[in-house]
Amino acid sequence: MTGRGIPFRKMHGLGNDFVVVDTRTRPFALTTARAVRIADRRTGVGCDQLVTIEPPRPEHPGSAAFMGIRNADGGVVEACGNATRCVAHLLMEEAGTDTVILGTLAGPVVARRAGRDSVRVDMGRATVTDAILSAERDPRHLDLGQPPFTDAVAVSVGNPHVVAIVDDAEAVDLRGVGPIVEHHDLFPDRVNAEVVSRRDAGLLRMRVWERGAGITRACGTGACAAVVAAVSRGVIARAPTTVALDGGRLLIDWRDADDHVLMTGPVATAFTGVLDESLLP
């Protein structure tokens, strides 16, 4: 190690874990090769997504920074709810503020403190469709040919999701069906896949196969997509809903007035460290 390594912070939202690199003070290109190396849980640090905190971009007026996101397989991510809470928390701690605007590829998002280590993020508009679906398909009833995704709901939260509503989310062979759905040719950029069950009036259980990361313990945009899908199919009322993930619970509210989806949940730092040059091809 030559001492020219890159400092990082290991963070997570309900176990959906990230390596966060602040590139505002020192150059660090977020590349596919670096994401794959750093995300490797044996030879790298290990994470679901690699996240960079970059200087703000002019297209996001008032933003404090831009957040770059890559999946463990190096793929580009437009939106990442759990990571947004983590980075927003860092920036609010840094600035001593209770609110912050973050730029992402999906657009600017507004975050605010919601408690000691809890953050609420306005993730922007969530819609039942996906830009690439053609007009003759009903995004509320998509048949992807793989049960239970033979009657799925396509939801965009800035990144693409397909949600299957089932009686028992625990009973789905997500490791089997997830990769097939992720690579379905209806989604040229691939897609995140969620299975959702209604546990109670305001409580959903959700499991996720994430595009480019596989099964993760939580997915913030996935939880948003799950609520949008369940409301759109009349499974739950349009009201603040708790989503129970493998790693814990998020509070999601798909706001009536503007179709924005609000997500509230915890953030945590596990450790800080220095990326050795060998991880930086």
Cite the annotated binding site by residue number: 16, 49, 71, 81-82, 159, 192, 210-211, 220-221
Q: How far is the CB of 221 from ligand API (least distance, A)?
A: 3
> How far apart (Å, rounded) are the C-alpha atoms in residues 100 and 110?
6
CA distance linking residue 234 with residue 220, whole number of Å: 21
Rounded Cα gap, residues 236 and 230, in angstroms: 6
121 lies in the site for ligand API, by CB under 6 A: no
Binding of ligand API by 247 (CB under 6 A): no
Q: What is the DSSP letter of 217?
A: S
Please give the Cα distance from 36 to 75 (Å, whole number): 9
Among 74, 124, 139, 212, binds ligand API (CB under 6 A): 212
- The residue whose two tokens read 């239970």 is 148
- 23: tokens are 């590139």
Interface mask toward ligand API for 16-45; x: CB under 6 A: x-----------------------------
Token reading at 173:
């062979």
Which of 52, 63, 82, 241 is the binder for ligand API (CB under 6 A)?
82
CB 78 within 8 A of CB 189: no
* Minimum distance of ligand API from residue 138's CB (angstroms): 23
For ligand API, which is the closer residue by CB, 157 or 168? 157
Which positions are annotated as active-site residues? 80, 219
Ranges within 159-178 binding ligand API (CB under 6 A): 159
DSSP element (H, E) containing 86: helix 81-95
**Residue set of the binding site for substrate:** 16, 49, 71, 81-82, 159, 192, 210-211, 220-221
* Beta strands in 82-129, from DSSP E residues, in sequence order: 99-104, 107-115, 118-125
- Kindly state the helix (H) or strand (E) to which residue 202 belongs, with its residue range: none
Is residue 210 close enough to count as binding ligand API by CB under 6 A? yes
State yes or no: residue 77 binds ligand API (CB under 6 A).
yes
Distance, CA of 200 to CA of 2 (rounded, Å): 55
- Cβ proximity to ligand API: between 37 and 161 the closer is 161
The contact set with ligand API (CB under 6 A) reads 16, 71, 75, 77, 80-82, 159, 192, 210-213, 216, 219-221
